Amino acid sequence: MESIKKAPSGNHARPRANPVSGCPLTAALAAIGGKWKLIIVYWLAESPKHFAAIRKVMPSISQKVLTEQLKELVGDGIVQREPKGEIPAPVEYSLTDYGRALLPLVEDIRLWGRAHIDRLTSQMDAPLNHP
């Protein structure tokens, strides 16, 4: 008997509820907060990528965590998940128009992060003034 594979359920996640009703900061952090989401958005801004390509540019993220983060980004309408063929199909991830609206924020945070690294480095290189 030939088995028929079905598409995995849960590919159309619903957006998560805002943990603090009406607060725009908590809504934003629920959608893009955490260690990995903005980095995923950054790499998808370059071009759509298959799961393996995302793992390649982000070797420190586990497969489980990347899967969870992508599901949440898809659920919030920031990332689009598109199977490219019959099941089991390779899946390509790309930013939605809504997700592309985050790119100026991602760039501002990247620039701030660079300045922060430079500041920390200069503080560590500065001589200590002990009496």
pLDDT of residue 13: 55
Sheet holding 79-83, edge to edge: 49-50, 91-95, 79-83
Residue with tokens 């689009």: 80
pLDDT of 118 reads 93
Architecture in CATH of 25-124? Orthogonal Bundle (1.10)
Below-50 pLDDT ranges, the chain: 1-11
The tens digit of pLDDT for each residue in 13-51 reads 555 666 667 888 888 988 998 899 999 999 999 999 999
Contacts 24+ apart (CB under 8 A), 119-124: none
Contact assessment for residue 73 and residue 40, using Cβ atoms and an 8 Å cutoff: yes
Domain ranges (residues) in the chain: 25-124
Q: Is the dihedral of CA 119, 124, 126, 129 positive or negative?
A: positive
